[in-house]
A and B are shown apart, each in its own frame.
Chain A
Amino acid sequence: EAEVAQSPRYKITEKSQAVAFWCDPISGHATLYWYRQILGQGPELLVQFQDESVVDDSQLPKDRFSAERLKGVDSTLKIQPAELGDSAMYLCASSLSHNSNTEAFFGQGTRLTVV
């Protein structure tokens, strides 16, 4: 069964350092999402891509977060500088298209701890 791949699974970084997460969506999925999930809460969207274009990044803290999907396939989410409050699970998901009846498939996530 096809899966969304994410790496690393766990990341510990010091405050003010840079950190990056990688995601490879299911082959053929045009839409890619990055979510942040704080313990005890539901996933919150950070950014949505359709192919290589950003569809929605209204909740992305752009002063420190950036995301790209240069070739419309895999994607990288970067935080620089990391802050203590960024400690969370970062989830990547993909779906066939952003404007059709289809569900999102999630990866295992990257658990970030900022110390």
Chain B
Amino acid sequence: AQSVSQHNHHVILSEAASLELGCNYSYGGTVNLFWYVQYPGQHLQLLLKYFSGDPLVKGIKGFEAEFIKSKFSFNLRKPSVQWSDTAEYFCAVNAKGGSYIPTFGRGTSLIVHP
């Protein structure tokens, strides 16, 4: 079974700072990878996804993530955060060839100070 680790549980940044959130997964086969975001009071929304192809994927609101297969990682980055990026960020993985059940990490709470 796959599992997902998010190493940063709480991150506090000032506006314009750069962001990188770590995500590692454990699964021996081919995976699909996702980052979801949950803004305060809102539902989980897809930020970006990787299925195949270019390992550097761009999502909404200036976010990007890089899939490094050798490191089983899919880290999320943003060069300059805004106050409106304050939210919970969840990394998720599902295994190709199986029943594609998305498995989530425990999430990272990001607070951006204006």
Residues of A in contact, count (CB < 8 Å): 29
**Is B22 part of the binding interface, using a Cβ–Cβ cutoff of 8 Å?**
no
6 further A-B contacts with Cβ under 8 Å, apart from A55-B99, A101-B96, A109-B43, are A35-B104, A48-B101, A56-B99, A95-B100, A102-B100, A106-B43
Spell out B's residues near A (CB within 8 Å). Answer: 4, 6, 32, 34, 36, 42-46, 49, 51-52, 90, 92, 96, 99-107
The residue among A48, A56, A100, A103 with the most chain B CB atoms within 10 A of its own CB is: A103
Chain A 26-44 interface 0/1 with B at a Cβ cutoff of 8 Å (1 = within) = 0000010101000011111
A54 to chain B, nearest CB (A): 11
B32, B92, B101, B104: the one contacting A101 at CB < 8 Å is B32
Spell out A's residues near B (CB within 8 Å). Answer: 4, 31, 33, 35, 40-45, 48, 55-56, 91, 93, 95, 97-109
A45, A103, A107: the one contacting B101 at CB < 8 Å is A45
B40 to chain A, nearest CB (A): 13
- Chain A residues near B102 (CB, 8 Å)? 33, 45, 93, 103-104
